[in-house]
Chains A and B, each alone.
Chain A
Amino acid sequence: MVPTEAFIILSMVLFTMGAMGVLLQRNAILVFMSVELMLNAANLALVAFAKQWGGVDGHVFVFFVITVAAAEVAVGLALIVAIFRSKQSINIDELHLMEG
């Protein structure tokens, strides 16, 4: 029997790595992939707590998170393609669309 804490610690480590990726990566696609890693870490924590408390509601919530992640990826990658078409780059340091 693996303690719930072990899963939560793993989830926390993965989440931190994802957050670091979001802040440090310069390739917009890799930033997106880091966001997926963070979502996945949160899902792992939800499933671990669902097991501890014996309720399936956590599983349903994870199901919704996966669905929303799929929608987010579809729109996000479409945005990246559109930006690449106009700027010829997806390096986020070179994108200053919002600069005044």
Chain B
Amino acid sequence: MEIWLFAGVAFLAVVAAAGMLLSKNAVLSALCLIGNFICVAFLYVMLDAPFLAMVQIAVYAGAIMVLFLFVIMLLGAENVGGSAREFKWITPVTLALALSFVFATFFAFNAGDIDTQNAEGDRPYVRVAHAAAGFPEAVDIYADGALLASDVDLGEASEFLQVEPGDYDISVAFAGDDPALAIPVGSVTLLNDTAQTVVAYGEERLPLLGVVQEDLSGTPSRSTRVTVFNAYPAVEAVTLVEQLPEFSSVEPEVYAANIPYGQASTAFISREREPEWAFVRADRPEERLFSLREYELTPGLAQLIILGAEPLGVGEGFRPISIEAQSETLATFGSPASVGALLFIDYVLPFEIVAVLLLAAMVGAIVLTQRGTVKPKPGRPLRRKVSRPLTSVIASQTGQDVTNVPELPQLREPEQPEPAGD
């Protein structure tokens, strides 16, 4: 299906390019080129580059091609180039060069294997959470003998770590204890491009191991992705519902229904900032187990809520607690966020250089197209001619001859350039 879509768009792109080359009218050529750019923008979307597709349409098909059309129509250059060429040999030579280039690249395709080579992917992320009520002490957690997280208290979660992919045996020891004494509790498989939270839970002395597959891809704007893990030993399954006031007649909204003991819910997206949520028994929804009070969700994060338990005392049972672990989500491949992060962090210097280049191009375009301005010719001082000397003007007005009067202050005209005449 997708390959046929690609074939259609690619065919349109080639047809548009051929139309641009073969058209006798330059305006038609420009329109064909716009069609080609739109086809390429479509292919960018197929290649997970929506930001570039938008830039392609806005900058290429919009700004640049409008500039082309403008200049073509300004110069009346629609039909230039119909006369016979001066260089007869250039057409066959060009065709031969093009054919040889096509053959060379096809040989390269045969020799190499573009598609069999692939990126390895991102190394797996892993973190641990301690929800084992039967093992309430702080623990160190080891994976294949290497320390994964140290001094994790009951009800805490560690930060995500990146590790090599593979199978790991997880073992647990008292915090600060000898790693050789760690108790093996289970094993997990970590694959590339995944993120897992390993949860130690259970009411027995030997903790059980639960794995929550986390989705760290970007969330929709102003929303949080929430996953719930049930590690509460007293009931078989829990449900996460909206917490309503007492004796409310409205049916509460259910967010994650019927999560079995030791398993995680599927992730859901929440747009709420301060949700009023509660855990209830799945079989008896009226029995509230735990309320998330003064609970806040940060938009753009992935949130893991573990319903755990802590022992009240010897033989007195458990009290429910909640463990919250947040993690940053990763920007989606090709999104404006990921391109922007790279552009303004790793490529700031090239970005600035390109900005200066654009400025220089703008100034250059203005200078090139500006008509020569009228300047005063050098060597001829500009002075306004006075028809009569000042002394004779005064003489005619006062009736006295003022030629003997000592120097009058001379009024000097400030030198002005001639007004630019059109």
Assess whether A8 is in contact with B342, with CB atoms less than 8 Å apart: no
Q: Which residue of A lies closest to B51 (CB)?
A: A59
Assess whether B101 is in contact with A56, with CB atoms less than 8 Å apart: no
> Which residues of B sit under 8 angstroms from A91, Cβ to Cβ?
80-81, 83
Assess whether A53 is in contact with B119, with CB atoms less than 8 Å apart: yes
Assess whether B6 is in contact with A2, with CB atoms less than 8 Å apart: yes
Assess whether B71 is in contact with A29, with CB atoms less than 8 Å apart: yes
As a 0/1 sequence over residues 304 to 344 of chain B, the CB contacts with chain A under 8 angstroms (1 = contact) are 00000000000000000000000000000110001100110
> Which residues of A sit under 8 angstroms from B20, Cβ to Cβ?
21, 30, 33-34, 37
Closest 7 CB pairs of A and B: A26-B81, A71-B361, A78-B368, A78-B365, A27-B81, A54-B119, A23-B94
As a 0/1 sequence over residues 6 to 47 of chain B, the CB contacts with chain A under 8 angstroms (1 = contact) are 100010011001101100001001100100110010011011
In the assembled complex, how far is the CB of residue B240 from the closest CB belonging to chain A, in whole angstroms?
A: 35
Q: A25-B81, A66-B56, A74-B361 are in contact. Are A54 and B368 (CB under 8 A)?
A: no
Q: Which residue of A lies closest to B44 (CB)?
A: A47
Complex Cα distance, B347 from A70, in Å, reads 19
Q: Which residue of A lies closest to B368 (CB)?
A: A78
Q: A99 at interface (Cβ–Cβ under 8 A)?
A: no
Assess whether B6 is in contact with A70, with CB atoms less than 8 Å apart: no
Pick 6 A–B contacts, CB within 8 A, sort by A: A4-B115, A12-B102, A20-B94, A30-B29, A63-B55, A78-B368
> Which residues of B sit under 8 angstroms from A44, Cβ to Cβ?
40, 43-44
Assess whether B17 is in contact with A37, with CB atoms less than 8 Å apart: yes
Q: B63 at interface (Cβ–Cβ under 8 A)?
A: yes
Assess whether A81 is in contact with B358, with CB atoms less than 8 Å apart: no
Q: Which residue of B lies closest to A79 (CB)?
A: B368
As a 0/1 sequence over residues 66 to 77 of chain B, the CB contacts with chain A under 8 angstroms (1 = contact) are 011001101101
Complex Cα distance, B117 from A8, in Å, reads 15
Complex Cα distance, B78 from A53, in Å, reads 43
Q: Which residue of A lies closest to B361 (CB)?
A: A71
The listed residue with most B CB atoms (<10 A of its CB), out of A23, A34, A37, A90, is: A37
Q: A7-B47, A48-B47, A66-B55 are in contact. Are A14 and B71 (CB under 8 A)?
A: no
> Which residues of A sit under 8 angstroms from B64, Cβ to Cβ?
36, 69-70, 73
Complex Cα distance, B69 from A32, in Å, reads 12
Q: Which residue of B lies closest to A54 (CB)?
A: B119
Assess whether A59 is in contact with B75, with CB atoms less than 8 Å apart: no
Complex Cα distance, B370 from A79, in Å, reads 11
Q: B272 at interface (Cβ–Cβ under 8 A)?
A: no
Assess whether B33 is in contact with A75, with CB atoms less than 8 Å apart: no
Assess whether A63 is in contact with B33, with CB atoms less than 8 Å apart: no
As a 0/1 sequence over residues 43 to 59 of chain B, the CB contacts with chain A under 8 angstroms (1 = contact) are 11011110110011001
Complex Cα distance, B77 from A1, in Å, reads 44
> Which residues of A sit under 8 angstroms from B52, Cβ to Cβ?
43, 47, 59, 62-63
The listed residue with most B CB atoms (<10 A of its CB), out of A10, A62, A69, is: A10
In the assembled complex, how far is the CB of residue A91 from the closest CB belonging to chain B, in whole angstroms?
A: 5
Q: Identify which of B33, B47, B118, B354 contacts A67 (C-beta below 8 A).
A: B354
